[in-house]
Amino acid sequence: MHTDWFAIQQLAPGVWALQDPIGRVVPDYDVGVVNLYLVDGHDRAALIDSGMGLGDVMAACRTLTSKPLLTLCSHSHWDHVGGAHLFTERLIHPIEAPRLTEAYDVEGIGTIRRAPPTGALNEGDVLDLGGRTLTIWHTPGHSPGHTSFLDSQTGYLFCGDTCYAGTLWMQTDDANLDHWRTSLQRLAASGATALCGGHEEPRQQPALARRLLTALDDALAGRSTSAPFPFDPGARKHTFGDFSLLLRDA
């Protein structure tokens, strides 16, 4: 396990992005980095997502905080939960929980180790870290039990793979475009000071959610520039400047 693997940047007092270089190992995914977010309270700290499991994410976190540490899984896709087994406290939405109970292999990466959840994340739950809270939002679409986390101190909404400026994977079997539309509408109306997504540049203006909604409408109506996505036959990449949508080819 690599000990010097993550690029780390501080986004605000007590908030860091740890960037896991997925593009270095599986470039055909058309995604550069996975964003993990460490949020530090007075009493304990939470790591939102744990990456691919190739880097020692616990060691990276320990360079930033010595407080008791738990991991919050935005969803169960392998690139967001690969390091979950390093934590004794692991929380995820109940819909996504079964995926963490089994080990499996990912081509080009290796084995994603089993990390059975120790607790659940449900809509409206509030996690108290001491002096700051994270409120749980159920934001399905990219996956059925996808969750986001609103930080009481910064107003940042850590929204995982629901919203970011990059190539958004919305063509997979567990994606649901109607649910995604509803979640994007919620993000657009959230009043968050920033949206911190699961990939690429970690901090985005909340207006990005509204732009994604418009782009989805344009893509579905045939008003976008698109091309086949070689990694996933049957998917098309619809390009809109600083982001792209992967959708199943109708």
Residues 100-136 pLDDT 10s: 999 999 998 999 999 999 999 999 999 999 999 999 9
Q: What is the pLDDT of residue 185?
A: 98
- Residue 88's domain spans which residues? 7-248
Contact 37, 15 (CB under 8 A): yes
- In order of 18, 110, 136, 212, the CA distances from 184 in angstroms are 24, 33, 15, 8
Q: Is 181 inside any structural domain?
A: yes
3-state secondary structure of 181: helix
Per DSSP (E only), the strands in 21-132 are 34-40, 45-48, 69-72, 90-92, 104-106, 110-112, 119-120, 126-128
Q: Is 30 inside any structural domain?
A: yes
- In order of 38, 88, 127, 143, 233, the CA distances from 167 in angstroms are 23, 32, 30, 16, 16
The DSSP output letter for 194 is E
Q: What is the pLDDT of residue 95?
A: 97
Q: What is the pLDDT of residue 201?
A: 98
Average pLDDT for residues 154-176, to the nearest whole number? 98
Q: Is 1 inside any structural domain?
A: no
Question: What tens digit of pLDDT does each residue of 190-224 get?
Answer: 999 999 999 999 999 999 999 999 999 999 999 99
Q: What is the CATH number of the domain that holds 44?
A: 3.60.15.10
Q: Is 207 inside any structural domain?
A: yes
Q: Is 141 inside any structural domain?
A: yes
Q: Is 175 inside any structural domain?
A: yes
Q: Is 209 inside any structural domain?
A: yes
- Tell me the pLDDT band of 97, cut-offs 50, 70 and 90: very high
Q: What pTM value is reported for the model? A: 0.97
Q: Is 115 inside any structural domain?
A: yes
Q: What is the pLDDT of residue 4?
A: 84
Cα 222 to Cα 153: distance, rounded to the nearest angstrom: 41
The DSSP output letter for 246 is E
Average pLDDT for residues 1-26, to the nearest whole number? 92
Q: Which of these ranges, 3-7, 81-85, 95-99, has the smallest mean pLDDT?
A: 3-7
Contact 19, 33 (CB under 8 A): yes
Residues 215, 220, 222, 227: what is their CA dihedral angle, to the nearest 10 degrees? Answer: 80
**Is the model's pLDDT at 248 over the cut of 60?**
yes
Contact 146, 73 (CB under 8 A): no
3-state secondary structure of 199: strand
Q: How many domains does the chain have?
A: 1
- Continuous segment of H or E residues that includes residue 178: helix 177-188
